[in-house]
Amino acid sequence: MAFVVAVAQQKGGAGKSTVAANLAAALAGEGHRVALLDTDPQQSLTQWHAERQKQGGRAVALTFENPSGWRVPAALDRLRRVQDFVILDTPPHAETEAKLAIRAADLVLMPVQPSPADLWASEATLRLAAEEKRRVAALLNRVPAQGRLRERILADLAGRGVTVLGATLGNRAHFASTFLDGLAVTEAAPRSPAAEEVRALVAAIRGLAPG
């Protein structure tokens, strides 16, 4: 049975699609059977996957679908039986669709940029996860090389009892440039600091999955 990870954050622009794409491709690069689902009406991952189809051997194989509404639980039921991991990109500002994805997930992965807006927006995501009794892990995303705000965000999340992954993703150009090409940083720039960060994220997610 697959381990289902819903990448969720009620604030738009938090980097959900980039996180989901890089996580899925890196897991697939390790030899896992991975499905990536785009349930966000903005369809950023659908466009990413269209570019990915042009990359040939540079892109590792993964299953991709873009179900919506009531089709999401049905797709998850089917994929859960044949995949090792299912990664969902969920919509912001859409409680019904986000709730469906969170309800079906084993883990809610919540990207949080070190900003007050992201921290405040996380309250809605945490509420949805609590209503559905789902485990949450926060991921600090687009973390600048310097700045004290990161520590304040960490302290606030810890004060709420939120698990924060030790892995973080920096504010690196490789994430944007490789996404435009339909690739993950582990595929296009495997020796880059960005790829090292994604591999650390993958290790953290594997550590949360059942043995």
Predicted pLDDT of residue 150: 80
Predicted pLDDT of residue 94: 60
Location of structure tokens 């990207």? 111
C-alpha–C-alpha distance, residues 72 and 74, integer Å:
5
**pLDDT tens figures, 134-174:** 999 999 999 887 767 788 888 888 888 899 999 999 999 99
The chain-wide mean pLDDT, for the chain, equals 92
Look up the CATH number of the domain holding residue 111: 3.40.50.300
Q: State phi, psi for 192 to the nearest 5 degrees.
A: -80, 160
Residue 210 lies in a domain: no
Task: Of 89-103, 114-128, 165-179, give the lowest mean pLDDT range.
Answer: 89-103
CA distance from start to end of the chain? 11
Residue 174 lies in a domain: yes
Residue 33 lies in a domain: yes
- Total domains in the chain come to 1
C-alpha–C-alpha distance, residues 42 and 200, integer Å:
28
Location of structure tokens 């504010």? 171
Predicted pLDDT of residue 30: 97
Own/partner pairs for 17-20, CB < 8 Å, 24+ apart? 17/42, 17/44, 17/45, 17/48, 17/89, 17/179, 18/175, 18/176, 18/179, 19/109, 19/111, 19/139, 19/141, 19/169, 19/201, 20/45, 20/87, 20/88, 20/89
Read off the pLDDT band of 110 (50, 70, 90): very high
Read off the pLDDT band of 91 (50, 70, 90): confident
More confident residue, 58 or 94: 58
| Whether pTM exceeds 0.85 | yes
Residue 211 lies in a domain: no
Q: What is the span of the domain harbouring residue 129?
A: 3-205
